[in-house]
Homo-oligomer: A and B are copies of this chain.
Amino acid sequence: MGSRERMIEATIALMRGSGLSGAGINDIVRESGAPKGSVYHYFPEGKVQIATEALAVYSERVMVFIEQALGRKRLPATKVRALFDAFARRVEEGNYRKSCAVGTVSLDLDADLENLRVALAAAFADWAALIARHFDLGDVQRTKSFAGLVLTAIEGAYVRCRAERSSRPFKEAGAWLAELVARRDPD
């Protein structure tokens, strides 16, 4: 892995820990072992550029992760539980120290990071669209809205699991959302 890739990987890991604030240039240099000069060689616009590129790489990986969790199952309720169980294992394996990089950076946004904000919103939209393709709740709008709820629950469980050091928020949400899709007809 070259310096550029190592810097991207370090940025992803740092952002998953504490968002944009944890992924300063000095942190990236330290964690990647890349020479400091190479940061501005590869990323002439600095921190926001490396963060944006790292988020794009991260977002693609989350797409693969979601697809793998959902694609192996057939029944809607089983799919929902499989997805949340996969995330539960992910946070357990990370010892509850790593969250979603898109989520952590979202909570660090301020007004002068509009380009980065658009990239975060695009990642969320891509994930929700991917989730929606795996379900059919009767009509397109309802299916899209359900996928949005799934995404909201994943991001919220990522927040809670850090404070509670538990994967229970994922399992709890998976069980309830499975119940929603198991009962297809609204009142």
Q: Point out residues on A near B: beta carbons under 8 Å.
A: 17-19, 21-22, 97, 99, 102-104, 106-111, 117, 120-121, 123-124, 145-146, 148-149, 151-160, 162-165, 168-169, 172-173, 175-176, 179-180, 182-183, 186-187
6 nearest A-B pairs in the assembled complex, by CB-CB distance: A156-B156, A21-B21, A152-B156, A120-B163, A155-B156, A106-B163
> Which of A107, A123, A158 lies at the interface centre, i.e. has the most chain B CB atoms within 10 A of its CB?
A107
22 A–B pairs (Cβ distance < 8 Å), ordered by A: A18-B19, A18-B108, A19-B107, A21-B108, A97-B109, A102-B163, A103-B159, A106-B160, A107-B107, A117-B165, A124-B164, A145-B172, A145-B175, A146-B176, A149-B176, A151-B156, A151-B160, A152-B156, A152-B172, A153-B173, A159-B159, A182-B187
Q: In the complex, A117→B172 CA distance in Å?
A: 21
Q: In the complex, A102→B162 CA distance in Å?
A: 11
Q: In the complex, A186→B77 CA distance in Å?
A: 13
Q: Which among B99, B117, B151, B165 is the interface contact of A107 at CB below 8 angstroms?
A: B99
Interface of A is mostly: helix
Q: Which residues of B contact A169 (CB under 8 A)?
A: 148, 152
Q: In the complex, A179→B3 CA distance in Å?
A: 51
Q: Are A153 and B149 in contact (CB under 8 A)?
A: yes
Q: In the complex, A146→B124 CA distance in Å?
A: 25
Q: Are A145 and B176 in contact (CB under 8 A)?
A: yes
Tell me the minimal C-beta distance from A10 to chain B in angstroms: 16
Q: Which residues of B contact A21 (CB under 8 A)?
A: 18-19, 21-22, 108
